[in-house]
Amino acid sequence: MLKAFVFDIGDTMHPSSKLEADVLYYIQEEHNLPDSFADTYLKMDYFSELYVSVENPPEKHFNHARGELRIMKMTLKYLHLNLDAEALSSEMNKLYELRLKRYYLKDPQGKDVADVIHFLNRNNFKVGILSDNPIQIKQKYLKLYNELGFKFDCFIVSEEVGFMKPSPKMFDAAIEKLDVKPSEAVYFGNNLERDAAAQKLGWNFVWVYGFNKNPNPNDFQGDKVKFINLRFVEEYIKKNEIN
């Protein structure tokens, strides 16, 4: 029987890649920056993530290569722009947080996620977050989720553990904090390399593919859903109770 629902954050609970790109293009236009600014930042971000992903395989130690300020400084330096990286990074963060909050309050898909979290809280399921992020980003998400009334029994990021998914250390940390068996937990994630590793450790796993670029649902034969929604979660709970 399921006792715990654990979620990845970016491109699982909300479309972080799209929101980030929207904010960058807005800043580019507002500050009359070169047309290459937003695309350069996104490429720097991508290659920083790629660097983190291949470092020290298979454990994938966490490091700060994806720090937002660091990427902004790299972008400005590459484009030879003598601008205040801290100010731009701060503006980007504030705009992102505003759009993210609006997503959960106004967007139908965001409201669906909010409904799921509130439903799980009301029905005494343990709820957790397991994400490859620094502690600084965790604090930002915690602030927002507290404002939205989301309650979590664990919120674990890779900087705290010292490793990134798919390291078993990440998933073990969540199991220990939630005090459940792996078979009693389900993990919702968008990344089949990192997140689906939960299955090998005895977890249940649901692939959330709707925010991925050009997803092919046939890439995964297990449980999957385009976007997190209450109907799917209720049916998933019933299915697991029967099994």
DSSP character at residue 233: H
Q: How many CA atoms lie within 13 A of 11 on its CB side?
A: 16
The CATH topology of domain 4-15+107-242 is Rossmann fold (3.40.50)
Q: What is the pLDDT of residue 47?
A: 74
Q: How many Å from the N-terminal Cα to the C-terminal Cα in the chain?
A: 8
Full pLDDT tens readout for the chain, 243 residues: 899 999 999 999 999 999 999 999 999 999 999 999 999 999 988 776 654 444 444 455 555 445 788 899 999 999 999 999 999 999 999 999 999 999 999 999 999 999 999 999 999 999 999 999 888 889 999 999 999 999 999 999 998 998 889 999 999 999 999 999 999 999 999 999 999 999 999 999 999 999 999 899 998 999 999 999 999 999 999 998 866
Least Cα distance to 109 among 236, 226, 24, 238 occurs for 226
Q: What is the pLDDT of residue 56?
A: 45
Q: What is the pLDDT of residue 63?
A: 56
Q: What is the pLDDT of residue 60?
A: 57
DSSP per-residue codes, 46-89 = HHHHHHHHHSSTTT-B--STT-HHHHHHHHHHHTT----HHHHH
What are 107's two structure tokens?
Answer: 């967007």
Q: What is the pLDDT of residue 70?
A: 87
The Cα 49–Cα 62 span in angstroms is: 11
Q: Map out the domains of the chain as residue ranges.
A: 4-15+107-242, 17-97
Number of Cβ within 10 Å of residue 238's Cβ equals 10
Q: What is the pLDDT of residue 136?
A: 86
CA–CA distances in Å: residue 55 to residues 15, 33, 52: 26, 33, 5
